Structures are given as C-alpha cells and as structure tokens.
Amino acid sequence: MDFQLTEEQIAFRKSVEKFARKEIEPLTTEAERNSEFSFEAWKKMADFGMMGLPFPEQYGGSEAGVLTTCLGMEALGRAGVDAGTTMAWGASQILCGIPIWLLGTDEQKEKYLPKMITGEWIGCMGLTEPGAGSDAASMKTTAVKKGDKYIMNGSKMFITNAPIAHHCVVMAVTDKEAGHFGISAFIVETDFPGFSTGKDLDKMGNRASVTSELIFEDCEIPEENLLGQLGFGFIGVGKTILEWERSCLIAAGVGGMQYAVEICTKYALERHQFGKPIAHFQAIKHKIADMKVWSQAARLLLYRVAWMKDNDQPAMVEACMNKLMCSELGMRLCEEAVQIHGGYGYMKEYPVERGFRDAKLGTIGAGTSEVQRMIISKAIMNLKRGGKKK
Ligand SMILES: Cc1cc2nc3c(=O)[nH]c(=O)nc-3n(C[C@H](O)[C@H](O)[C@H](O)COP(=O)(O)OP(=O)(O)OC[C@H]3O[C@@H](n4cnc5c(N)ncnc54)[C@H](O)[C@@H]3O)c2cc1C
C-alpha cells in the first residue's frame, strides 16, 4: 500500500491553492455575500485549467485522472473558495460533462466538451423533480418520440446552474412500462423551443451558485441529443453521474474542512479570555484535535475512492460511504468551528458562518444521508429492492 502522492500531484495541489487564494477566493467571497454567481471567477478558473481536469486532451482537457481532479477541488476548498462556486463547477463539469464524455457520441463530445472546458458554456443536470427526490426513478417528466424529435414535458427541481446553463443533461421517461429501463437521458440546450427555467431559488447556503427549476412544455429535442442508449438514462447515465458525484464533488468540502481547522487554530491562538488564549483551554484543544482527525479521515476516504475509480474498480458503495462520512463529518466540524469562534462565529463577517450554512447541503444533495445508508446497508446485507434477501 502506498499513501504517497506523486511530486507532480503535490506541486499541482499547491499551485491551485496559491492561485485560488489570490485570484478566486476574494471574488467568490464577495459573490456569496451578494448571492451571485461570479462569471469572472469561472473564467479565471477555466483559464487556469480547472474546467478541463478530468477530460481528454483532444477536447482541451488535461486527462488529470480522478485523484488529481479531486486534489484540485480539495485545493480550492482549502484556499477558502465557497462551496457554491465549487458546487457550480461540479454540476457543470461532473454532472453534465462526465456523462457526455463517457457515454456521448463523438459528435456530442466534439460539440459540447471543448466549450465547457474553455468555460464558455456552463452545464447542468436535471434528475430531481418536485415530487421525485430520493425516489428519483418515480419521475414524471416524459419524452415521446415524434418524427426525428423527442417532445419533453415535465419539470426538474433544485437544479444547480439552471439559470446560467447553456445545456443540461436531463432524465425523462421514454417507456412507462419498463420501470428503471424506461428512463432515458437527453442533452437539452436551453434555447430549444419549449424550454424555460423557474424563478431563482433563495437558498440557506451555497449562495454563490444559482438554482432553479427546469420546465419543459412540449420541448423539442433533436433525436441526436439522446445521451447513451435509449432506456439507459437511469441505470447507465444516472449511475455514472451519481458515482462520480459521490466520489468527487465532496472533494472541495474536504478541503474546506482543512481550511476551517486552520482558521480555528489561528483564532484560538489569538482570542484571549480569562487572561490567556482560548487555545490553552482543554475544551478548545479537544475540539481542534477532533476537527483535525475528522478532516484527515474524510481525506483518506476521498483519496481511496478516487484511487479506485482511477483503477477502473466499481466504486458505487465506496462512493456512498465517502459522501456520507465526508458530509456528516463536515457538518460536525463546521458546527465546532462556529462554537470556537463564539459570538463572532455567528456573524457573517467570519467565514465559519458561511461554512456552517454551506456544509448542510452535503447531507442532502446527491442523495441524502438516509439514502446513502440505505444503499450501503442493502449492499452489506445483499438485499433486493423491497427489503428481501437475494
Ligand atoms: C441546493 C441544491 C442543489 C441541488 N442540485 C441538484 C441538481 O443540480 N440536480 C438534481 O437533479 N438535483 C439537485 N438537487 C436535489 C437533491 O439531490 C435532492 O434534494 C435530494 O436528492 C433529496 O430529495 P428531496 O429534496 O426531494 O427530499 P425527499 O426525497 O423528499 O426526502 C425528504 C426526507 O425523507 C427522507 N427519505 C426519503 N426516502 C427515504 C427512505 N427510503 N428511507 C429513509 N429516509 C428517506 C430523506 O432522507 C429526507 O430526510 C439539489 C438540491 C439542493 C437543495
């Protein structure tokens, strides 16, 4: 077993962190305060190469691999870049870009990937519906073949990047009788007739990302925009997305945990009560020790699942464990970070306040903690849907 990153990986992580501290964090911190998405930060991240990390060179990417991609995102979080901005990156590059790369036709890859990598086009992904969240397969959105087009009707809820996206990967029912095999995926451009978005949703955290509903009213989709095989939108495209999402998207959060440990350590050494730095009190020391251990445990789970994916091993259950543990430890850690800051931690001026609000989404998005536990326990106990042992 080798726990050592390569020299190139260490240098890459450092260079991203340095770049992000100087160029990105000030822009995104300001954007988060104003509940806006920063196009300027997006462009700078693209120019630095962040958008192309996992993708092939032929489309302008750098073929960095899963672990190195995660290291890049971890470095953004460690530099203090807010979770909304890194989630926008994930929604575009991972949830939308990865399925196009792995399951798309040559024409689809050539059309969409280069402009996503230069940052010109932003993507999004629509699986969740107003009435179908954890049970996403019970979706109601339909796509019916008519001539050389599919006609889509329905809506998708809580879609990250929806108001700024050029295109979305959308799942819809194409055969009502075929259950999980009756769902297909499509690339829907946001200027296709019949497409619109709902109002911008006002969120607790991740406020530098924009979120809204996707609405399809007889939306016309050319047949060549079917993504992957007909009927494999849930089993194929959806699973590919969710495995990547539960592996990689939490990487920035894991970096954010390290950032919180650093700022809490600094604060505890500087803040005096009872005539000495609060760092001298055992209660505070123990909090910081626990936070360090949690951030390290999260990091190891993340690196392991990324390594498994780089080595072409199936990793859905490990991805669920990674997502569950990193997000729950992240939430606990961010609560302690506020506590260490006392009343100041409750003030918007301090980054721990933002971290606390941002961290909560980790236990909800990409499948709630309850759903991760359901999948993990099913795998351990070898259970079928409905609870019976196989
Ligand atoms: C800010 C934000 C951004 C998002 N971005 C996207 C996006 O880009 N694309 C996208 O497709 N979706 C996105 N989502 C949706 C997200 O994935 C869903 O919110 C999530 O899957 C939960 O679905 P739900 O909100 O409908 O909750 P529900 O499924 O209604 O769950 C409600 C509660 O019931 C519990 N529950 C449900 N079923 C079970 C069960 N079988 N056993 C035990 N407990 C259960 C849940 O764990 C939860 O506690 C986003 C959500 C948010 C908040």
The reply to whether 109 and 132 lie within a common domain is no
CATH number at residue 272: 1.20.140.10
Same structural domain, 263 and 273: yes
> Domain check: are 265 and 227 in the same one?
no
Among the three residues 107, 122, 137, which one is the final residue of a domain in this structure?
122
pLDDT value of residue 182? 97
CATH, residue 11: 1.10.540.10
Do 64 and 131 lie in one domain? The reply is no
Top mutation candidate among 96, 364, 377, 383 for ligand 1, by most atoms within 8 Å of CB: 364
Q: Looking at the structure, tell me whether residues 267 and 223 fall in a common domain.
A: no
Neighbours of 49 (CB within 10 A): 18
Structure tokens at 149: 């087009």
Q: Are residues 208 and 313 located together in one domain of the fold?
A: no
pLDDT the model gives residue 2? 84
List the beta bridge partners of residue 273.
276
| Residue 243 lies inside a defined structural domain of this protein | no
Please identify which of the residues 243, 245, 318, 353 carries the catalytic annotation.
Answer: 245
In a shared domain, residues 100 and 32: yes
Domains: count for the chain: 3
- Assess whether 144 and 63 both reside in one domain: no
Q: Is residue 337 part of a domain?
A: yes
Which of 92, 93, 125, 134 has most ligand 1 atoms within 8 Å of CB, for mutation? 134
Domain end: 212, 237, 262, which one? 237
The domain boundary, picked from 122, 151, 185, lies at 122
Decide whether any atom of ligand 1 lies within 6 Å of the 200 Cβ. no
Measured between alpha carbons, how far is 300 from 306 in angstroms, rounded to an integer? 10
C-alpha 169/C-alpha 188 separation (Å) is: 6
Q: How far apart are CA 186 and CA 69, in angstroms?
A: 26
CB atoms within 10 A of CB 356: 23
Instruction: Report residue 160: phi and psi, to 5°.
Output: -65, 135
Domain that holds residue 101: 7-122
Q: 134 and 114 in one domain?
A: no
Beta strand 276-277 pairing with 272-273: antiparallel
Our answer to whether residue 328 is catalytic in this structure is: no
What is the domain-level CATH number for residue 207?
2.40.110.10
Nearest atom, ligand 1, residue 374 CA: 42
Work out which ligand 1 atom sits closest to the CA atom of 201: 1
Residue 79 lies in a domain: yes
Residue 140's nearest CA partner among 148, 129, 151 is 129
Q: Does the residue 30 lie in any domain?
A: yes
Same domain flag for 178 and 258? no
Answer for the pair 50, 69: CB distance below 8 angstroms, yes or no.
no
**Is residue 242 domain-resident?**
no
| C-alpha of 152 from chain center | 26
pLDDT for 134-177, tens place per residue? 999 999 999 999 999 999 999 999 999 999 999 999 999 999 99
Mean pLDDT by 10 residues, the chain (390 residues): 92 98 98 97 98 98 97 97 98 97 97 98 98 96 98 98 98 96 98 98 97 98 98 93 93 98 98 98 98 97 96 94 97 98 97 97 96 95 65
Can you tell me the distance from the alpha carbon of 325 to that of 329, in angstroms, rounded to the nearest whole number?
Answer: 6
Both 286 and 374 in one domain: the answer is: yes
Q: What string of H, E and C letters represents the secondary structure of the chain?
A: CCCCCCHHHHHHHHHHHHHHHHHHHHHHHHHHHCCCCCHHHHHHHHHHCHHHCCCCHHHCCCCCCHHHHHHHHHHHHHCCCCHHHHHHHHHHHHHHHHHHHHHCCHHHHHHHHHHHHCCCCCEEEECCECCECCCHHHCCCEEEEECCEEEEEEEEEEEECHHHCCEEEEEEECCCCCHHHHEEEEEEECCCCCEEECCCCCCCCCCCCCEEEEEEEEEEEEHHHEECCCCCHHHHHHHHHHHHHHHHCCHHHHHHHHHHHHHHHHHHHHCEECCEEHHHCHHHHHHHHHHHHHHHHHHHHHHHHHHHHHCCCCCHHHHHHHHHHHHHHHHHHHHHHHHHCHHHHHCCCCHHHHHHHHHHHHHCCCCCHHHHHHHHHHHHHCECCCCCEC
Whether residues 115 and 128 fall in one domain: no
Decide: 212 in ligand 1 pocket, CB within 6 A: no
Is 2 a member of any domain? no
Q: Is 91 in the pocket of ligand 1 (CB under 6 A)?
A: yes
Which residues touch 176 (CB under 8 Å, ≥6 apart)? 142, 182
pLDDT at 370: 98
Burial zone of 215 (CB within 10 Å; 0-12 exposed, 13-18 middle, 19+ buried): middle
The answer to whether residue 78 is domain-embedded is yes
Q: Is residue 386 part of a domain?
A: no
pTM of this structure: 0.96
